[in-house]
Amino acid sequence: MRILFFGDIVGRAGRKAVLERVHELRERFDVDFVVANGENAAHGFGLTGRMCEELLAGGIDVVTLGNHSWDQREMIAYVDTQPRLVRPMNYPANTPGRGWGVFADRHGRKVLVVQAMGRLFMDPLDDPFTAVSVLLDRHVMGRDVAATVVDFHAEATSEKMAFGHYLDGRASLVAGTHSHVPTADAQVLPRGTAYITDVGMCGDYVSVIGMAVRPAVDRFITKLPNSRLEPAAGEGTACAVLVETDDVSGRARSVMPLRLGGALAQSGAA
């Protein structure tokens, strides 16, 4: 199975970068299943129902969220109506939406998609290590599902790396999101889990993690929230990873970072 995972989509530039390339990438790499983190798609803060539907209709199979899940208040009601939308599973038990789901790839094979949020420098949520481990005990790769994709939305690189090693051999991919900068450590861990500390954002990199430069810089200089943060509006880079799994075990055979368009050095495809 070939799985494509896009990092945090930021604003219009990020949506455009993904939607203009997803069909081409599906065809070029014979992709079976696509996941994208959409939590910054709505002007850099959260996601709307319309934008979620646009991403799903445009070639994404599952959209994940993160710490900006509720920035657009309409999502509180919408999240329960869209089964292909996944928010962090270690939110409190009564939080709307779902933190995981089992979905079908284009050949009907079962793919478990999970999202958890880290706790270092983030909200004090339930333990993501225990929450995901219990879930994976009930959905074993090669027995219950053909592949497992985990979006770990976290700030600290140490927590992300520890999480990847903790799940090594039990997930096809552990993809770090949230920090909006692609890391250079994509690898297949010893027991067969593809891992990257951060996939990187899909958005304009002539920016401050996706936001227009001047207002973001002014906030650091003045320490005043006078300037409203706006997404940078230049050409976006689509950052993703492509994972190929073993059809029997679900473990990763390879992982390849992709950086397409925009200001960053291109990687993985012309």
Q: What is the pTM of this model?
A: 0.96
For residue 234, what pLDDT band results from cuts at 50, 70 and 90? very high
71: nearest Cα among 98, 51, 94: 51
Answer whether CATH 3.30.10.20 is correct for domain 2-260.
Answer: no
C-alpha dist (Å) from residue 193 to 204, 246, 251, 268: 30, 11, 6, 20
Q: What is the reported pLDDT for 90?
A: 96
The rounded mean pLDDT for the chain is 96
Q: What is the reported pLDDT for 269?
A: 63
68 is catalytic: yes
| Residue among 43, 68, 153, 180 flagged as catalytic | 68
d(CA 67, CA 146): 28
36: nearest Cα among 3, 1, 62: 62
Q: pLDDT for 144-168, tens place per residue? A: 999 999 999 999 999 999 999 999 9
Helix (H) or strand (E) holding 28: helix 22-28
Average pLDDT of 86-90? 97
Residue-wise DSSP of 210-257: TB-HHHHHHHHHH--TTSPP-B--SPPBEEEEEEEE-TTT--EEEEEE
Every domain of the chain and the residues it spans: 2-260
